[in-house]
Amino acid sequence: MSLGSFASDGLDSKRQRALPIPPASASMKTFTPDSSIASDVIPSANYGDRAKGRLPDMIVLHYTGMPDVEGAIARLCTAGTDVSAHYIVLEDGRIVQCVPEAKRAWHAGVAFWAGEEDINSCSIGIEIANRGHDWGYPDFPLRQTAAVIALCRGIMLRRKVPSHRVLGHSDVAPSRKKDPGEKFPWHSLANSGVGHWVQPAPIVRGDPLKLGTISDDVRHLQQALARYGYAIPLNGKYDATTMDVVTAFQRHFRPARVDGIADHSTLTTLQALLASLPNEAMAAAR
Ligand SMILES: [Zn+2]
């Protein structure tokens, strides 16, 4: 049997829809995927060089946040939109690469994590096909989650990305972004060795810190969030930025209640995460 007939046989090829390749991408130079599990390459016009030859040691996960994947692929690949990502993971688990990992894709925008502002230069961006909060926010199918895990594991191994540097877009841009959101199964990723996560502390009654509070406890909360990597003022005021960061933290690490209020469960979960960070991460945060 020739490889060609093997590849075109079987259930999968009949079940899968053809990939929507934007016209401009069809004429662009293709490349060999960096990940052995990427099934397709749709070259994007939107990328540049990583600043000062910075090597990626972070993964930023996104959702596409558009009603259909055709529109998302067109947006991420067509010149002039000024956005892109290294990979797109479709709902059926197929993985498309759009930008070579060596290049700087344009996925994070204005962002910050652990002292770095040029997140695009130090990260690999992965877009996960999901309509997002504005379009009904469906669950992430298991097949898609499994593909994200496999893709991330390969990148982590090849690029030496530590688990605590696998983050969501909302972590690095908390006032602007919600993706991949509180439905994203971070616990499943962590069970497979992808991302830093601890079991969230149970939600109990108590006196929480919230918008408007001014106190040393707020300052300690801000210091703890900053130590973990978030961009947050250390002014002791529970201001709008602090609330945005607490909300982003909850979307990722305490998804049962996302309300921007620092309750006992949120504070305890944050302390447990800090306590379980590897030593080199703590050294970098000081
Ligand atoms: Zn995003």
State pLDDT tens for residues 62-115: 999 999 999 999 999 999 999 999 999 999 999 999 999 999 999 999 999 999
Cis peptide before 180 (omega within 30 of 0): yes
Q: For residue 166, how far is its CA from the centre of ligand 1 (angstroms)?
A: 14
Its pTM stands at 0.93
The stretch 35-39 carries a mean pLDDT of 96
- How far out from the chain centre does Cα 275 lie? 23
Q: What percent of the chain has pLDDT over 90?
A: 86
- How far out from the chain centre does Cα 191 lie? 17
Confidence band for 27, pLDDT divided at 50, 70 and 90 = confident
pLDDT at 12 over 80: no
Residue 269 three-state SS: helix
Q: For residue 122, how far is its CA from the centre of ligand 1 (angstroms)?
A: 16
Q: For residue 4, how far is its CA from the centre of ligand 1 (angstroms)?
A: 37
Q: Could you say which of 91, 117, 127, 280 is catalytic?
A: 127
- Return d(Cα 112, Cα 244) in angstroms, integer: 14
List the beta strands (DSSP E) in 91-215: 95-97, 103-105, 123-128, 166-168
Q: 101 an active-site residue? A: no
Residue 48 three-state SS: strand
Which residue from 68, 73, 90, 65 is spatially nearest to 144, judged by alpha carbons? Answer: 90
Rg (alpha carbons) of the chain, rounded to whole number: 20
Output the CA angle 65-68-71, nearest 5 degrees: 85
Confidence band for 22, pLDDT divided at 50, 70 and 90 = confident
Q: What is the pLDDT of residue 283?
A: 54
Q: For residue 8, how far is its CA from the centre of ligand 1 (angstroms)?
A: 34
- Return d(Cα 225, Cα 254) in angstroms, integer: 14
Q: For residue 284, how far is its CA from the centre of ligand 1 (angstroms)?
A: 25
pLDDT at 11 over 80: no
Q: For residue 108, how far is its CA from the centre of ligand 1 (angstroms)?
A: 6
- Return d(Cα 83, Cα 119) in angstroms, integer: 14
